[in-house]
Amino acid sequence: MKAGGGKLVEDVLEALSLGGHTVSARPTPGPGTAAALAREAIAGGADLVLAFGGDGTINEVAEGVVGARTPFAVLPGGTANVVSCELSLGSGPVAAAERLAHFQPRRISVGRAFSEGGRPRHFLAMAGIGLDAHIVYGMNAERKKRWGKLAYWMGGFSELTRHLEEFEVEIEGRTHRCSFALITKVRNYGGDLRIARRVSILDDRFEVVLFAGNRATRYLKYLTGVAVNRLDGMNGVTVLRARRVNLCCAESERVYMQIDGEYAGRLPGKVEMVPDALTLLTPEEYG
């Protein structure tokens, strides 16, 4: 569970208890601690690891669950709640907790990202390289806490006057040049948009959406395409499927990567699919 929460955490615990579960809550004392807590819970014999928080917290807990057979479930409690929105978990964590007993365990693949000088990191939802990662890189915790999703939109509009860094994406021997690459297992993006349209968290391949061009104003056209579901076939947009993606850039460029909404390093790097990685509880109707 994320740190804090007060009455909301109590309500979630009550909902879980009413469902017949014996629950032990472990607040995360700070960033980078949730994976170790998940591993400790599994080593201690837990029959379920449950992450209550935003996508960053869920990502950390999932890191501790990868490779284990212990089921993993999520409850929404953050800014965008991309994974929770993807699974249609409802309007809040209490409602999702009340449904948990009816969820179905499914063994899924996850993504794994490598960046320059960084350790490999797993993810449930997406990796973003280029434009959106530059926004995440410049986002401070106070602004995010104060403005929520609006902070990301503000960061995006501040990019409109900037020359965008371009980089190369290699998939199955073919190279593509772009300024934003979305490598995703989910359709939901940022809690409000759908960029990828034909992918599921249950899939064993990513949907890869590449946006060309070094002028940020070009993204106004791309955003319109997202809004009206007309990205496919749009000039400058390439949509592919892949299990492995290699990423590189010129030495003079600083191109960033984000994983599930958190900064994850710089290029060069790669993203690959890890099969049979964890057991995720999902609503029966999902997928």
pLDDT tens digit sequence for 250-280: 988 899 999 998 999 999 999 999 999 999 9
Average pLDDT, stretch 211-236? 90
pLDDT tens digits, residue range 106-134? 999 999 999 987 789 999 999 999 999 98
What contacts 82, CB < 8 A, 6 or more positions away? 55, 125, 126, 186, 188, 189, 190, 191, 260, 261
Q: So what's the pLDDT on residue 11?
A: 76
**Inter-axis angle of helices 55-65 and 34-43, to 10 degrees?**
40
Catalogue the long-range contacts made by 222-228 (C-beta closer than 8 Å, 24 or more residues apart): 226/193, 226/194, 226/195, 227/193
Global pTM? 0.89
Reported confidence tier of residue 3, pLDDT bands at 50, 70, 90:
very low
pLDDT (mean) for 219-232: 88
For range 216-228, the mean pLDDT: 89
**pLDDT band at residue 247 under the 50/70/90 scheme:** very high
> Look-up: residue for tokens 């499927």?
241
| Rounded Cα gap, residues 78 and 86, in angstroms | 14
* pLDDT greater than 50 at residue 31: yes
For residue 108, give both structure tokens: 């899924």
**Residues present in the chain in total:** 287
Cβ 78 vs Cβ 149: under 8 Å: no
The pLDDT confidence band at residue 101, using thresholds 50, 70 and 90, is: confident
